[in-house]
Amino acid sequence: MVVIVDTIANPLRPRHPEKVNRPDSASPPKPDWIRVRAPNTRGYADTRNIVRANGLHTVCEEAGCPNIGECWDKKHATFMIMGDTCTRACAFCNVKTGLPNALDVAEPQNVAEAVAKLGLAHVVITSVDRDDLADGGAQHFAETIRAIRAACPSTTIEILTPDFLRKEGALEIVVAAKPDVFNHNLETVPSRYLTVRPGARYFHSIRLLQRVKELDPTIFTKSGIMVGLGEERHEVLQVMDDLRSAEVDFLTIGQYLQPTRKHHAVMRYVPPDEFSSYEKVAYTKGFLMVSASPLTRSSHHAGEDFARLKAARAANAR
Chain residues that interact with ligand SF4, rule: CB under 6 A? 59-60, 65, 67-68, 71, 76, 78, 297, 299-300
- Measured CA to CA, the distance from residue 55 to residue 32 in angstroms comes to 36
- Measured CA to CA, the distance from residue 140 to residue 83 in angstroms comes to 11
Q: State the nearest-atom distance from the C-beta of 297 to ligand SF4, in Å.
A: 4
Q: State the nearest-atom distance from the C-beta of 301 to ligand SF4, in Å.
A: 8
Q: State the nearest-atom distance from the C-beta of 60 to ligand SF4, in Å.
A: 3
| 56-to-16, 36, 101, 115, 283 alpha-carbon distances in Å | 21, 24, 14, 11, 36
Chain centroid to CA 257: 15
Q: State the nearest-atom distance from the C-beta of 13 to ligand SF4, in Å.
A: 25
| 23-to-12, 14, 20, 159, 264 alpha-carbon distances in Å | 20, 15, 8, 35, 10
Nearer to ligand SF4, 65 or 111 (CB): 65
Q: State the nearest-atom distance from the C-beta of 294 to ligand SF4, in Å.
A: 12
Bridge pairing between strands 122-127 and 78-81: parallel
Q: State the nearest-atom distance from the C-beta of 120 to ligand SF4, in Å.
A: 11
Nearer to ligand SF4, 73 or 113 (CB): 73
Helices and strands (DSSP H and E) totals, the chain: 11, 9
- Measured CA to CA, the distance from residue 116 to residue 139 in angstroms comes to 22
Q: State the nearest-atom distance from the C-beta of 33 to ligand SF4, in Å.
A: 17
- For residues 115 and 149, is the Cβ–Cβ distance under 8 A? no
Q: State the nearest-atom distance from the C-beta of 110 to ligand SF4, in Å.
A: 18
Q: State the nearest-atom distance from the C-beta of 101 to ligand SF4, in Å.
A: 22
The backbone region for 48, taken as left when phi is positive above 0, alpha when psi lies in -120 to 50, beta otherwise, is alpha
- 15-24, long-range: CB within 8 Å, 24+ apart, which pairs? 15/94, 15/96, 15/97, 16/89, 16/96, 16/97, 16/260, 16/262, 17/97, 17/98, 18/89, 18/97, 19/89, 19/260, 19/262, 19/263, 20/262, 22/262, 24/261, 24/262
Beta bridge partners of 223: 251
Of the candidates 282, 256, 251, the residue with the CA atom closest to the CA atom of residue 269: 256
- Measured CA to CA, the distance from residue 75 to residue 45 in angstroms comes to 9
The Cβ of residue 280 has, within 10 Å, a number of other Cβ atoms equal to 12
Nearer to ligand SF4, 171 or 253 (CB): 253
Nearer to ligand SF4, 16 or 122 (CB): 122
Nearer to ligand SF4, 127 or 230 (CB): 127
